[in-house]
Amino acid sequence: MLNLECKRAHNEFSVNPILFQSLLVCNIVVPFHKMCYLKTRHVLIYKIITIIYYLRVIVQCDPLTRGIKNDTENLRIQINQCPPANSAFTFPYPGEYERHYEQCIAEIAEKRKLVNPDQDLRTPEIILAYNYELVTYDEVVTEDDYILTVFRIPGGPKSPRAVGKPAVLLHHGLLTASDNWLLQYGDRNLAFKLADAGYDVWLANARGTDFSQRHNYYNPYRDGGYWQFGFHEIAIYDLPAVIDLMLNETGNKDIFYVGHSMGATIYTIALSEIPELNEKIRAGFLLAPAVHIGHAYNPLRKLTKIVGTPIQDLVYNFLKGHFNGGSNKILELMGLSPGDVCTPTALRCKLCENIMFFLYGFNAPQTNYTNLPNVMSKIKNTCSLRTVIHFAQNMISCEFRKWDYGMAGNLAAYGSFQPPNYDLHGVTAATYIFYAENDNFIPSVDIETTRDAMRPETIKGLYKIDFSLFNHLDFVVAVDADKLVYNKILELMQVYL
């Protein structure tokens, strides 16, 4: 209990760039500025609580006053966490590694001249390269003035454009963009399979990705205020704007939705926070939904130890509020892309594939080594650090809840010391969940928690991928993703036509 109180107090003294910059603006510069996160009338309450907890930190959290000398861990204020569902470092060494390395070498030798022509192309170029029709909407303005780009495939070689086609929105996950759905070869991609089956396909690009880095007032390259958003804002602002655009352009009353990872996060938030949005969803398909993630055992879980500490704020300020995964200046100066780095056999089979296995789990049988350079060139994009930190907060708390400002900030923002949980009972649209046994981001135990948090009548299907090594990224890159996942989605959609 003592450690929990210390953690709450510590949250107030870690210089949270979102909270404290807002206090600075609210309290000193322009008290009634519309961008203030905390209303002026709460500032006095904040100061009182800060003084009280400052005294308690000195008395209770200092190791000397607690009779424990030289125990710096007591200064690292801890809270309870869910235990990870597995070890974060379960590598297939040595036998299995040797086999998959030989498999990699053999496949590349056999298909040495085969290069995916999409490797250096982005979403619009890939769509046009395969003779699908492309419409670009690059002025999609959200309620909070972010400007998004959305790509549309209204028709293709097997299904020309026609009025009245059912529309489907594909939303990518964290650190990716719309080309997340175009990583496979040709018509094996979900976007093209849907277009061939007669659907009007729309590809979202969340704010902050390199396709959607504009704002009516902020410049993402100069203004830190641009990056003060997380997946909550993507859910309550981006998603409604895109869905309304789809309905206006197609004349349909509702849409299908497919979201991978964070794409599923924003679906559940949007539908729970904006009840009327449920009526605009015919059915939703969530692939590896990053909703409850408390038992994640991905190696990146180690980074949660800096959340709520001064190190977090140093990283935040150093990176200027965002992770720029969309470009690499060193490679650009050398005239190379990430895909080029992974083209040589030695690097592809020793470095690039091991990065994939290290982060997402071992699945050599479903790895297309020939396509690996193309995958590596597209699976990273730009995102706000607040998005990453929010996921880390939920991993630590074992809850699916709103942004944690710290105790005083929560009191001002929510009227309670702890941030409230998202009420998943608010999701009433027909929803299907697909998950993988080897997913180290979203283990099965967290999938069950997500299912149990929703209304039983909402969950129309819970499907475990029929391949034991299938992992988090395999939903978009696996050799048999079409057979194991996409075909089932198409089959289920037919029920609603």
Q: Which of 386, 404, 385, 384 is nearest to 394 (CA)?
A: 404
Q: Which of 477, 292, 453 is nearest to 372 (CA)?
A: 477
CB atoms within 10 A of CB 416: 10
**DSSP one-letter code for 59:** I
What is the H or E stretch that residue 214 is in? Answer: strand 214-215
Q: How far apart are CA 235 and CA 215, in angstroms?
A: 17
The strand pair at 281-287 and 431-435 is best described as parallel
What is the H or E stretch that residue 102 is in? Answer: helix 95-110
Q: How far apart are CA 384 and CA 226, in angstroms?
A: 9
DSSP class per residue in 228-262 = ---HHHIIIIIHHHHHHHHHHHH--S-EEEEEETH
Q: How far apart are CA 497 and CA 368, in angstroms?
A: 34
DSSP class per residue in 374-442 = HHHTTS---EEHHHHHHHHHHHHHTS-B-----HHHHHHHHSSSSPPBP-GGG--S-EEEEE-TT-SSS
Q: What are the residues facing 134 on neighbouring strands?
A: none
The strand pair at 255-260 and 167-171 is best described as parallel
Residues with catalytic annotation?
261, 472
Helix (H, G, I), strand (E, B) or coil at 372: helix
Tracing tokens 């998004």 back to the chain, one arrives at 148
End-to-end alpha carbon distance in the chain = 54
With contact defined as beta carbons under 8 Å apart, do 163 and 251 qualify? yes
CB atoms within 10 A of CB 42: 18
Sign of the torsion angle spanned by Cα atoms 180, 185, 187, 193 = negative
Q: Which of 454, 458, 494, 477 is nearest to 287 (CA)?
A: 477
Rg of the chain in Å (alpha carbons): 23
- Provide the CA 92 distance to its chain's centre, in angstroms: 27
Amino acid in the structure at residue 377: S
Q: How far apart are CA 55 and CA 496, in angstroms?
A: 60
